[in-house]
Amino acid sequence: MKQAGPRPETAIGATLDMDMSLKITGLAVAGACGALARYGLAGLLDRQMGSSFPWGTLAVNVAGCFLFGLIWTLTQERWLIGGEMRMIVLVGFVGSFTTFSAFLFETDQMIEHAEWFMASLNLAGELGLGLVAYLAGAFVGRLL
């Protein structure tokens, strides 16, 4: 049996578990990828569709719900990836890809400007389409 070597020291002198540092690194990389994907997709749609409605945020959140449903179902029912990788993908990539805070901020801005119909449409679209996309992702995950 191979004996583990000394653990690397952190800045405060505590030992750093290498498995944990790899998880944190994976989470950070996945988060960066999710943030870049969000920025690219939302920006592209906002340029294409105009700024009268937050189409980019809506698309990102619906796509994120679909991805979450797909990935969760595949990993729960098919075990294609382990729990740690699932956490990295769902928390890192999907978590930084979706934009719930931006959705709420944009809805609040519509309310502040008395754009009641647009605010209602945004709420119904984000929540309704998000739920449908999540269920569709889970359905596709079961088919694969």
CA–CA dist 88, 124 (Å, integer): 29
53 in the Ramachandran plot: left (φ > 0), alpha (ψ -120 to 50) or beta? beta
pTM for the whole thing?
A: 0.73
Give pLDDT tens digits along the chain (144 positions). Answer: 445 554 444 444 444 566 889 999 999 999 999 999 999 999 999 999 998 999 999 999 999 999 999 988 888 888 777 888 888 999 999 999 997 878 888 999 999 999 999 999 999 999 999 999 999 999 999 998
Dihedral (CA of 118, 110, 108, 90) sign: positive
Q: Give me the DSSP letters along the chain.
A: -PPP-PPPB-TTS-B--HHHHHHHHHHHHHHHHHHHHHHHHHHHHHHHH-SSS-HHHHHHHHHHHHHHHHHHHIIIII--S-HHHHHIIIIIIIHHH--HHHHHHHHHHHHHTT-HHHHHHHHHIIIIIHHHHHHHHHHHHHH-
Q: What is the pLDDT of residue 77?
A: 84
User: Which residues lie across from 9 on neighbouring strands?
Assistant: 15
